[in-house]
Chains A and B, each alone.
Chain A
């Protein structure tokens, strides 16, 4: 925990900003992980932290366009990813290998993302203060 950038005005001075990375590796509806992870990210936004979201493995399916869940009687939470920008969560990273293995590309996703190689993803992960996986 070596880097504190500060600068958050919370009324009684400045707060500490840490780099949080949320790593999403599960497909959206088979388990509750994806939805729970998204909830946690939205909560974290309330604390004005430096938040990144990473999508790896089946986690890339969370961002797939064209999700229609009415027939399985589950809430379609995919539009929420488009709302993240409104909470100042703008750092979305997707691993290129995970997309390619699944026959997807950035154009198949419902939000703009930065596509990174696994090596670049590893480098980015190393720079975080806190890494939380879902």
Chain B
């Protein structure tokens, strides 16, 4: 299952809720888009949360959103970058998708 988060983890509990529900069982994927990409920054509280979730869930971030926000040099190791085509591939590869609006 693919989970998509588009909210900053610093002003919204969406990422926490997503990880709470999604992490158990493994095999899933998390795609960070829009302000959600801030969760992929290392040495941040949210980044630490994402890093510890990586054992349970594969984490991706949308490169155009990462680059737009200037965080490309501070991205957490292990987060895979995807472009818009990669976004589509992720949606196709997974049986279902939850957008955590």
Interface residues of A (CB under 8 A from B): 1-2, 23, 25, 33, 56-57, 95, 97-98, 118-119, 121-123, 125-126, 128-131, 133-134
Contacts and interface: CB of A to CB of B under 8 A. Distances in A.
Interface string B6-50: 000000011001001111110010000000000000000000000
Contact of A56 (B21, B24, B28, B97): B21
Contact of B98 (A1, A23, A95, A98): A23
Contacts, number: 50
Contacts of A129: 95-96
B80 to A, nearest CB: 21
A129 B23 CA distance: 19
A122 B96 contact: no
B25 A119 contact: yes
Given A25-B17, A57-B17, A118-B20, A126 B25 contact: yes
Nearest to A101: B13
The interface residues of chain B, by DSSP majority, are classed as: mixed
B99 A123 contact: no
A12 B70 CA distance: 57
Interface of B: 1, 13-14, 17, 20-25, 28, 95-101
B98 A133 contact: yes
Contact of B25 (A95, A123, A130): A123
A20 to B, nearest CB: 10
Nearest to A54: B21
Given A2-B95, A25-B17, A123 B24 contact: yes
Contacts of B98: 23, 125, 131, 133
Given A122-B25, A123-B25, A126-B25, A97 B99 contact: no
B21 A95 contact: yes
Nearest to B17: A57
Contacts of B95: 1-2, 126, 129
Nearest to B97: A131
B13 A57 contact: yes
Contacts of A95: 21
A56 B17 contact: yes
